[in-house]
Chain A
Amino acid sequence: MKKAVELVLLLLLLFFTPHIMGKRYSPPGKPTLTRCRSPEKETFTCWWEPGSDGGLPTTHALYYRKESSERVYECPDYHTAGENSCFFNKNDTSIWVNYNITVVATNTLGSAFSDPVDVDVVYIVKPNPPEKQTVTIMEDKGWPFLRVSWEPPQKADTRSGWITLIYELRVKLEEENEWEMHLAGHQKTFNIFSLRSGGKYLVEVRCKPDHGFWSEWSSTSYIKVPDYFHREKSVWILLTIFSAFIFLILTWLLHMNSRSLKNCILPPVPGPKIKGFDNQLLKNGKSDEIFSALMVSNFPPTTSSNYEDLLVEYLEVYVPVEQELMQEESKDLHGGCLKCERSTSDSDSGRGSCDSHTLLMDKCGETKEEGRHTDRASSRMLTEAQRHQKGWEKDTLTYAHGDMVSPDMSNGRVKTWPSVFSPLPQYSSNPLDKQSSLEMAKQHCLSTSSCLTQPGHSTKEALGPSNWDFCLGNKQPHLLHPQTQVGRQLQAHSEVNISNIGRKQAPAGLQSPALRSTEYVEVQRVNEEDLVLLQPVVSGCGRIEGYPQMPKGKDYSKVKGVDSDNMLLLQREVMEEDWWTGNCYTSSTVNTTQKPTACIHTAMPVQGDMALAMNGYVDTATMCTLPTC
């Protein structure tokens, strides 16, 4: 009893010990056929994956059955292809025959069958990769390309036509990640173009039968492309130089024409500008400074000048009463002239505006013989006119004189007094003589008449030629030809300028009538004898229209003396004779004046109660009443 119990216990122990120990034996797990491959369609290999072995050593066996027979064969070679594989050699392989393959795992406890797999060798061909791969660099018209060539795998029999393979290659640069694929078809060479200069390329090839699997990639071939870019580089260098050259030329051209271009693209905007007006001062906001800046320092002129010297510069023109009246009327003309001058002489405002009045000024400039002088004179006139625009009403002649003459004397420019000044003869508040003022006024008339653009004015017309003709004289006979009023007046004006020059140079004081052949009118001072003589300098011909230079009613005669017979001896005849030699008076006028002289020459006794002029002048008209006359 005890023994039986012990035996049972032992048996139980033995039985259960493996369980207590933790080890379990079981039949093997189900293996699985993973794949079958044929490298050349003549042999093939199948691999399987064993299942769990169940703790016991298991063996695997592969059995296969061919298509049309029920006979089961076992795998002939378990070792050639490695672990868990079965290799079917040529004798055992039949193409176009369906193999039914099963793997069995067996251990002591049991066996396990895998799922059967149908295999037709034709459709499991996976060749070896291509062999003898070569990559060479070749050149096509200077541009390199790669030529890749290879051989089919040795085992695959393509020569007999048993297998036909198609190839594929891939290329990439060493530093890149992506391959460039190329299908080569049945051919065994391939060209690769568009290479990067100096790049290192990797090339691989693989193959595939008509119906099968792609082979593995062949071993990589390395190739380095030579540097062919240097030729391209030289082209680039040339291009760069050329473009830089063109750029420099363009820059230079732009620089040369920058100003004109600037004017073309961005025309200057005319802005109001007042001479002497400082914008900055305005911004600062000090009105005193602003307006003080506007004031010209030397205006009004305060420098005292020798008025007598100044007088030398002026033309003395004797204007008859009638002419004086007309002067009044011609005030508006002066205004017109002012306007004219003002419009043309506005040099401070924006340029570019063309004024028709400039035409007038151009004519003034053209007709001047001593062009530059007269230009300066006119410009001088203009500037002065402009400057004194505002203050011309207030200014006196004194100021005008001073302003005009003093700066000009220095450099010898032609002096003309500006016609801005009012030629009103009423400016008698100055210390100058009345006559001087008259002369001034006359001169004003003269000068202004040159600028007048209203040729239709009859009075002016009358004024102009009468005043000018005698002075123009033979110097410029062409002036006497019929011309436009404006032109004649301009010419006259120019002559006035010229005469002024002459006047300046000449000593102040007496001047002989025949001093020059020019058309100067000699200005004679009022000497102690209170004789004012108007001497027509011009010796040539001339005509007097309208008014004679010597007014009718003003035949002055100088009393030479009274002789014993109480006869007045007039000097006049002598002078007249001198005069008549050179003057341009018409005979009519001469006759009128000559007659009394003739009377005088006869030395007619002068009656004591003969009316004597205030200053010793005898009114010749009264003398004519003598019977002998």
Chain B
Amino acid sequence: MPGNIRSVSFVVLVCLLFCSRLTSVGATPICTNAHAGCHVLSLSNLFDRVIQHSARMHGISNDLHSEFEQYFLPSRNQIGRVSRNCHTSTILTPNGKENAQKMAREELTEVILKLLVAWRDPLWHFHHSMAHYDDFNNFSSNKALEMSDMVHELRKGVEKVAEKMQVLGITSNTVNSLTSPEALLPSESAEWRLMKDYDLLYCFRRDSNKVQNYLKILKCRIVPEHGC
């Protein structure tokens, strides 16, 4: 009898392990090599997903910004704010349509990635600093957390898009420098710590808009079939 119980329990354990392994797979993995057996997403589809993601991200940042404005800054004196620069101002971003259209696809993709990378740490810290504000409700705190997660996810997505473009031959291989974008910003990492929370939100709102817009431009330039 005890032998039987042991064997049964062993089998059950094995089964559980396997089941957990299976469930942890999650969504179908995206195959960039277009090998057989993988579910391949088209570039257009990828772009749409990424654009949607960035739109959502911008929406959240907009909401947080307006909430902050409501609670913490009754005076609309914005002269002081202008003086402070965003830590991402060093990144050269096109400020107009022509500038953006003149930019190469690779450059534009790089700018996007740089922006996304630059905001990963500050948002993380911002989320933690939300706890200090008693006036803020939990909903806003959750938004901050969601925002930081989104930046992370968006960056991954854009990287995938870049890979796809490379594979498809749309972009040249000069994007390889993006493999380690963190290397670009170690010296500037301290700057964002000096910024106030409000300024952080203000800067991030603008940067998320930039990302969204750049992605749209890229999409309509590369895959103009739908919605352009």
Residues of A whose CB lies within 8 Å of any CB of B are 41-42, 65, 67-68, 90, 93-98, 100, 116, 118, 120, 122, 157-162, 164, 186, 210-211
Contacts and interface: CB of A to CB of B under 8 A. Distances in A.
A95 B212 CA distance: 14
Contact of B97 (A97, A100, A120, A160): A160
A515 B100 CA distance: 148
B97 A42 contact: yes
Name the prevailing secondary structure of the B interface residues.
helix
Interface of B: 55, 58, 62, 78-79, 81-82, 85, 89, 93, 95-98, 100-101, 206, 209-210, 212-213, 216-221, 224, 227-228
B95 A161 contact: no
Given A42-B96, A90-B96, A161-B221, A120 B228 contact: no
A116 B77 CA distance: 9
Contacts of A118: 78, 81-82
A436 to B, nearest CB: 129
B216 to A, nearest CB: 4
Contact of A160 (B62, B81, B96, B228): B228
A96 B210 contact: yes
5 contacts: A90-B96, A93-B96, A96-B210, A210-B212, A211-B209
A186 B89 contact: no
A211 B66 CA distance: 13
Contact of B220 (A65, A67, A95, A159): A159
A69 to B, nearest CB: 10
Given A116-B79, A118-B78, A90 B98 contact: yes
Nearest to A99: B82
B217 A161 contact: yes
B209 A96 contact: yes
B206 A120 contact: yes
A162 B213 contact: yes
Contacts of A157: 97
A97 B82 contact: no
Contacts of B210: 96
A186 B51 CA distance: 14
A284 B217 CA distance: 111
A160 B217 contact: yes
A303 B213 CA distance: 132
A52 B228 CA distance: 48
A160 B219 CA distance: 9
B82 A98 contact: yes
A162 B217 contact: yes
Given A96-B210, A116-B79, A160 B101 contact: yes
Given A90-B96, A96-B209, A162-B213, 17 more contacts: A68-B85, A96-B93, A96-B95, A98-B78, A98-B81, A100-B78, A116-B79, A118-B81, A122-B206, A158-B228, A159-B224, A160-B97, A160-B101, A160-B217, A160-B221, A164-B216, A164-B227
A41 B96 CA distance: 9
Nearest to B78: A118
A572 to B, nearest CB: 139
Nearest to A122: B209
B96 to A, nearest CB: 6
